Structure formats: C-alpha cells, structure tokens
Amino acid sequence: MSEPLNGYRAGYVALVGRPNVGKSTLMNYLLGQKIAAVSPRPQTTRQRQLGILTLDNAQAIFMDTPGLHIPAHKLGEYMNLVAEDALREADIIVWLVEANSLPTDEDRLIAEKLRTLVHPPPVLLALNKMDLLPAEELSERMADYHALLPGAEIMTISAVNGVNCDELLAGLLRHLPMGEPFFNADQLTDFYERDIAADLIREAALLHLREEIPHGTAVRIDEYTERGESGAFISATIFVERDSHKAIVIGKGGEMLKRIGVTARREIEAMSGRRVYLELRVKVNKNWRNKPDALRWLGYARLKK
Ligand SMILES: Nc1nc2c(ncn2[C@@H]2O[C@H](COP(=O)(O)OP(=O)(O)OP(=O)(O)O)[C@@H](O)[C@H]2O)c(=O)[nH]1
Ligand SMILES: [Mg+2]
C-alpha cells in the first residue's frame, strides 16, 4: 500500500453490478483464494457471500452479491433484494461494469439505484475486463460510464489477472471507517465449506450445460462427512425444473452427470485442500424458481431485519 492509513480501519465493501461483470472473480482475487463460484454465464451468484480480508492495518469485508438484473422469476426477485440490502449495509460500494461493452439498461438501472440511496456511501466505479478493450477506446468508454454516475471515482481493472486490483484495494481501504476488526483474522468467509461446495457443483453445471437448464438448477448437500486420511465424502442432489431437464443433466449413460461431478470434485478439492469423494443425484422440483416454499427450503430466503 502506498499511503499509510493512520490507525486501524474496518468496514463493509459491497461488490455490485449487473450479472457476469466479474464481481466474484474480483473477490476471489483480492482474497487470494477461490471461495466464490465463477462462471461464464450470468446469474452465477445467488446469495450474499462475505469475503474477509484482514491486513495489518485494515479489515475489508467484501460482500459479493447476485448481479442486479430485470428478474424473470421469484428467485431473480430474491437475488435483486439481496444485492440491494448490501447497498444499504456498505461503507463503500464498488460498482463493477464491463469495459468491453457499452452501458446497458441494467447498468442505467443500477446507476439510478445508487443515485437514490438514502445515505449514499462513496462509490468506486470499476471498469472490469480492460484486457478485452482496445487501448484506443479506453478514454471514450470511461466517459460513457462516468456520465451514468458523475460523483463516482472511476478506474479500470482486470480482475481475472489482477491488473490494477491492488490499486483499487488501496483506494477503497481509505474509505473504511476507523475501528476494530469485526472478524477474527483467520476467518475468510461467512459460508460453511458445504455451502461453497454446493455453489461449486452448480458452477460445474453452469460450465457443462447449455441454455436455460443450468439456470434452473439448485444444489442441496445431503451429506458432508470427514473420512480421516481418505478425505471427505460428499453426497449432493441437483434439483432441476422439469423431467426433460433431468434426462439432460444425467446424459447418455450418465455421462453428463459424471462430467459435472469430475469438474466439481476438482474444484472442491482445491478449495478444501483435501481429497473428496463426491456422489451426485438429480431430482425434479417442478418450477421451483417461482415457488416461495421451494425457495425457502433451498435457502433462498432473506433474513428478517
Ligand atoms: N477477460 C476477462 N474476463 C473476466 C474478467 N473478470 C471476470 N471475467 C470472466 O467473466 C465471467 C463472469 O465472472 P464472474 O466473476 O462469475 O461474474 P459475476 O459478476 O460474479 O457474475 P454473477 O455472479 O452472475 O452476477 C467469468 O467467465 C470470468 O472468468 C476480466 O478481467 N477479464
Ligand atoms: Mg458472482
């Protein structure tokens, strides 16, 4: 860090933006460890997940959030509410957009939400994926986004390879309030290992499946048992919305489910640092993304404030 912070600082940093702009990638990079699922498809993150970065002079508690979007079902409405809650809890907001595309309607909607916050914290507008933007278009693109929220500090980053991310971190630490850390130095997230494992299984499904099918999946961990030297045994159910989707997720001779399982197992092993035996099954819960009881039961319910 270039400038001293003069005393300990601690606070909450909301990572917000429309789906797929790189919020979870940025959080993983800043923590130096993958704790959040990342995929090339929008709407990967469905819950708020904390990423706790404890330094000698500051504790930044990142809130990774679902992408703010125009919802098509009750799950989407829930995801938006979760992201909006984070906006209100933040000491500073990092608003991520995609440098390689022009502002979209969703970006304009987010700008409007940020402009109308009752107690607006500082906003750092980060144009991510600068590696995908030709250098000669940079200043024009910055102007396009700056116009959406002129009060925001603006910078360009590349979360996937860390370019300018340490500068972004240094910039946001200065906005954190003075105070003691909220969490023990060894706590990295508020998710249990089994919650992360469930997201990594869904991440694998997002990677291997096409069209709407992966978006209609939910994962429940049925068993997560330590087996000493031989690692952990995990049994999980992938829920889908239709019988026809179940057949696709399983695939010919179980091939697709196997592929999802191999990818997910590798990721869970890397995350947990031990060997994992993963058993997957598929069940149908018709139209669950629009059923309040199914959403609650799958853990997509806001805590009452
Ligand atoms: N080229 C490039 N790709 C990136 C960069 N940052 C993220 N990505 C990719 O963008 C995709 C989406 O990244 P995520 O981190 O899942 O995006 P997100 O904003 O968390 O998405 P949701 O959870 O769906 O809201 C992934 O394929 C990432 O690898 C970047 O700086 N450059
Ligand atoms: Mg995400």
Measured over the CA atoms of residue 257, residue 298, residue 61 and residue 44, the dihedral's sign is positive
Q: Which residues line ligand 1 at a C-beta cut-off of 6 Å? A: 17, 19-25, 38-40, 42-45, 66-67, 128-129, 131-132, 158-160
Is the separation of the CB atoms in 295 and 287 below 8 Å? no
The C-alpha torsion from 182 through 186 and 188 to 193, rounded to 10°, is -120
Q: Please identify every residue whose CB atom is under 5 Å from ligand 2, which is an ion.
A: 23-24, 44-45
Q: Is the pLDDT of residue 2 over 50?
A: no
Please, which pLDDT band fits residue 199 given cuts at 50, 70 and 90?
very high
What's residue 303's pLDDT? Answer: 61
Mean per-residue pLDDT of the chain: 95
Q: Are 210 and 41 in contact (CB under 8 A)?
A: no
Give, using CA atoms, the residue closest to atom 13 of ligand 1.
22
The pLDDT of residue 246 is above 50: yes
Cα–Cα–Cα angle for 305, 81, 144, rounded to 5 degrees = 135
Do 250 and 227 meet the contact criterion of CB atoms below 8 Å apart?
no
Top pLDDT among 305 and 96 is at 96
> Strand 276-284 and strand 232-240: pairing?
parallel
Q: Whose CA is nearest to atom 12 of ligand 1?
A: 20
- CB proximity list for 105: less than 8 A, separation 6 or greater: 70
Q: Using CA atoms in the order 185, 188, 192, 196, what is the torsion angle rounded to 10 degrees? A: -170
At 176, is the secondary structure helix, strand, or coil?
coil
What distances in angstroms separate CA 88 from CA 16, 118, 186, 284, 290, one per listed residue?
A: 12, 8, 26, 36, 26
- pLDDT tens, residue by residue, 101-111: 999 999 999 99
Distance 252 CA to ligand 1 centre (A): 31
Full-model pTM: 0.96
Q: How far is the CA of 98 from the centre of ligand 1 (A)?
A: 9
Residue whose Cα lies nearest atom 24 of ligand 1: it is 43
pLDDT at 214 over 90: no
Give me the mean pLDDT over the 151-156 stretch: 96
Compute, in angstroms, the gap from residue 237 CA to the centroid of ligand 1: 26
Query: How far, in Å, are 35, 45, 178, 191, 280 from residue 196 at the CA level?
Result: 7, 11, 31, 7, 16
Q: How does DSSP assign 2-47, residue by residue?
A: -S--SS-EEEEEEEE-STTSSHHHHHHHHHTS--S---SSS----S
Q: How far apart are CA 292 and CA 85, in angstroms?
A: 19
128 pLDDT band, cuts 50/70/90, is: very high
Is the pLDDT reported for residue 3 higher than 60? Answer: no
* DSSP code of residue 161: T
pLDDT at 230: 77
Per-residue pLDDT reduced to its tens digit, 23-72: 999 999 999 999 999 999 999 999 999 999 999 999 999 999 999 999 99
Distance 66 CA to ligand 2 centre (A): 6
Mean pLDDT of 121-140: 97
Q: pLDDT band at 212, cuts 50/70/90? A: confident
Amino acid at site 25: T
Angle between helices 255-272 and 243-250 (to 10 degrees): 70
Query: 86 with 48: CB under 8 angstroms?
Result: yes
Q: Which of 20, 28, 130, 132 to mutate to test the pocket of ligand 1 (most atoms within 8 A of CB)?
A: 20
pLDDT tens string 225-244: 988 877 999 999 999 999 99
Cα–Cα nearest to 227, from 297, 295, 279 = 279
8 Å CB contact between 165 and 30: yes
Local confidence band at 1 (pLDDT 50, 70, 90 cut-offs): very low
* Rounded to 5°, angle at Cα 204 from 201 and 205: 90
In this prediction, residue 221 carries a pLDDT of 97
Q: What is the pLDDT of residue 302?
A: 74
Distance 22 CA to ligand 1 centre (A): 3
Average pLDDT over every residue of 254-270: 98
